[in-house]
Amino acid sequence: MIPEIAIYVCLGISLFFSALGAIGILRFPDFYTRLHPATKCTTFGGIFACFAAIIFGIWKGIDGMKSGDMSMFVLSIHVFIVLVCLLLTNPTGAHAIARAAHRSGVYPKTWGGKPVEVDVLYKEKEKMVEVARLTKTDNILLSEDTKNTKSANSTKEANE
Amino acid sequence: MDMSVVETIFTYASFVLLALCGLALVRVIKGPTAPDRVIGVDTINTFVICMMVLFGAAHHEIIYIDIAIIYALLSYIATLFVAKYLEKGKF
């Protein structure tokens, strides 16, 4: 009785947070806000789905131990490995894709000419461009990037 | 095989996750920029991993869960490669 209730609670939390993630990825306004539901909520939901399967495996394993069947314990150990992989890979991938998006010229949504979120990386980039201009280092990639972002920002303002 | 109540609920939970995959697919199709599509695919990958774990528990099959491990690692590598491609970096 108790393991069943624990499994249902874990599954409920898992489905609730997965649903929040899927709705948030549809409803949020720009890429950086969408990254929150896409990684945090789905990772949390995945953790609790794995917990449900681990509890199920241990429960059935104790039942089957009387007849000498240990396969359900093996199942819960494998689910634990899935949990470790999920915890290691999901946030790392999110970090990589966020950095790549920023470097490829996707910027936070502007509102009245100002970015909605605090964009620390963009300020650092402006500083780097200024240093490159003063020291006359010919960094083609950097200058192209800033040109693109300026034009992108101006078109956004024109749209609004 | 006949399923108990818990195993039936595992199956229904994975169907709910399938519906949520459809919601994430809308973002993959609509997404204005490439990184939006990438995080949509990333979300679908996480849901598919959860579905594999739940199906493996429902059918008492360990091989489904082994495949989920491999799927998690491969989807991580795919995300890193797409990130490197968007960054125009060297591999």
- Give pLDDT tens digits for B15-49: 999 999 999 999 899 878 888 999 999 999 999 99
Structure tokens at A150: 């300026």
Which residues are within 8 A (CB) of A49 and not within 5 positions of it... i.e. 6 or more apart? Answer: A10, A11, A14, A18, B13, B50, B53, B54
Q: Where are the domains of chain B?
A: 3-88
Note the maximum CA span of chain B: 54
Contacts of B83 in chain A (CB under 8 A): 93, 96-97, 99-100
Q: Which of A1, A7, A31, A155 would you mutate first to test chain B, the one with the most B CBs within 10 A?
A: A31
Q: For residue A111, what are the β-bridge partners?
A: A114
Structure tokens at A29: 């306004």
pLDDT of the residue at B31: 77
Among A144-153, B54-63, B67-76, whose mean pLDDT is lowest?
A: A144-153
Mean pLDDT of B77-86: 90
Which of A56, A89, A99 lies at the smallest CB-CB distance from B6? A56
Q: How far is residue A49's CA from residue B66's CA, in Å, rounded to a whole number?
A: 16
* DSSP, res A133: H
Higher pLDDT, A38 or B1: A38
Q: Is CATH 1.10.3470 correct for B3-88?
A: no
Q: How far is CA B90 from CA A49, A95, A148, B83, B85, in A?
A: 37, 18, 21, 11, 9
Which of A22, A53, A97 lies at the smallest CB-CB distance from B38? A97
Question: Is 0.85 exceeded by the ipTM?
Answer: yes
* Residue A59 phi, psi dihedral angles, 5° rounding: -60, -50
